[in-house]
Amino acid sequence: MTRPRVFVARRLPDAGLAPIAAECDVDVWPDRLPPPADELRKRVAGCVGLVSLLTDKVDAALLAAAPTLKVVSNFAVGVNNVDLPAATVRKIPVGNTPGVLTDATADIAVTLLLAAARRLGENSTDAKEGRWITWEPTGWLGCDLVGRTVGIVGMGRIGFATAKRLHHGWGMKVLYTARSPKPDVDRELGAKHVDFDTLLAESDFVSVHADLNPTTTGMFGAEQFRQMKRTAVFVNTARGPHVDQPELAAALRAGTIFAAGLDVTDPEPLPPSHELFTLPNCIIAPHVASATTGTRDAMARLCAANLLAGVRGERLPHCVNPQVYE
């Protein structure tokens, strides 16, 4: 019997690759860099399944070139690299990996918040490069955290896990934006659902956890940074395009806000010569929020489960376009 053909756009942890290889005829892209668009198109043509990464653009042209495709399994919780309407029109379910990376991502949000607040990027570089000349009463002063206010932009799973850490760990007051108030969150964290302007004006720390879509793209621009406190720390672990980066750089340079911690940028990778890398009050990680061994294994298992369900014609355990089943 011929086995279903699938293309896996990068080497995944074995926890995901092994179950896929057990059932399918797998073509794994061997390089560290993503397949170029034309190569991706060639490899996917004739496949029934595709495992894509957030660096692979799964657009209408790619889907049109793969008429036998029955499932796209994205190795990420975010699916902004996939043209969902185009997949839905073709009745192709798209899977993602929610839940399993919540804690790892919240950990990085808090790590960046602490690092930016305490100027860790700047002062550790200073120490390494010989500018640590003595213990100074007014040297490298950062922000206090206990009892301050955190504004969570997008109170989903990761926003909640981040808020929980900051509330229970540092006694922070929690404000949040979401489509509607979340009574459970309000009860558990004493949190308050507010409008975006209030969140910006009243938060000492602003942490972004919203999905990237046309309404959230560019939601942080000059005006939003102006509305924030001059002592505010901005953290983004969601997606780079939420932020107008030249305006963020301008705000950090001018002291409109105190500091930023970013795990995501636009583009990725951010060129080493980019202005944001030159600013001492900006600390940047290379999109590593889910990068723990346990989390990546769990993502790989979920990704394989989605792919195999789609290949077998079953409902995906985690499908972001369930309309395909209607």
Binding residues for ligand DGY restricted to 38-57, rule: CB under 6 A: 54
CA dihedral 172, 178, 182, 188 (to 10 degrees): -20
Q: Which position has the token pair 């002592």?
A: 231
The region of 58-66, 76-84, 107-115, 202-210 touching ligand DGY under the rule CB under 6 A is 76-84
CA 9, CA 31: separation in Å to the nearest integer? 9
**Catalytic positions, please?**
239, 268, 287
What is the sign, positive or negative, of the torsion defined by CA atoms of 244, 247, 252, 258?
A: negative
Specify the residue, 200 or 303, whose C-beta has the smaller distance to ligand DGY: 303
Q: Does 159 bind ligand DGY (CB under 6 A)?
A: no
Number of residues that bind ligand DGY (CB under 6 A): 7
Distance CA 52, CA 83 (A): 12
Beta carbon of residue 54, minimum distance to ligand DGY (angstroms, whole number): 6
263, 108 contact by CB (below 8 A): yes
Distance CA 208, CA 258 (A): 16
**Per CB under 6 A, 145 contacts ligand DGY:** no
Are 240 and 267 in contact by the 8 Å Cβ rule? The answer is yes
Largest CA distance in the chain: 75
Closer CB to ligand DGY, residue 142 or residue 240?
A: 240
d(CA 195, CA 181): 10
Nearer to ligand DGY, 48 or 152 (CB): 152
78 binds ligand DGY (CB under 6 A): yes
Candidates 10-18, 73-81, 106-114, 241-249: pick the segment binding ligand DGY (CB under 6 A): 73-81
Q: Is 77 in the site for ligand DGY (CB under 6 A)?
A: yes
In three-state secondary structure terms, 149 is: strand
Q: Does 262 bind ligand DGY (CB under 6 A)?
A: no
Position 101 contacts ligand DGY (CB under 6 A): yes
Query: Cβ closer to ligand DGY: 54 or 172?
Result: 54
Amino acid at 195: D
Please state the closest distance from residue 80 (CB atom) to ligand DGY, in A: 8
**Candidate list 290, 305, 316, 318; residue touching ligand DGY; CB under 6 A:** 290
Residue 65: partners with Cβ closer than 8 Å, 6 or more residues away: 41, 44, 45
| Interacting residues toward ligand DGY by CB under 6 A | 54, 76-78, 101, 289-290
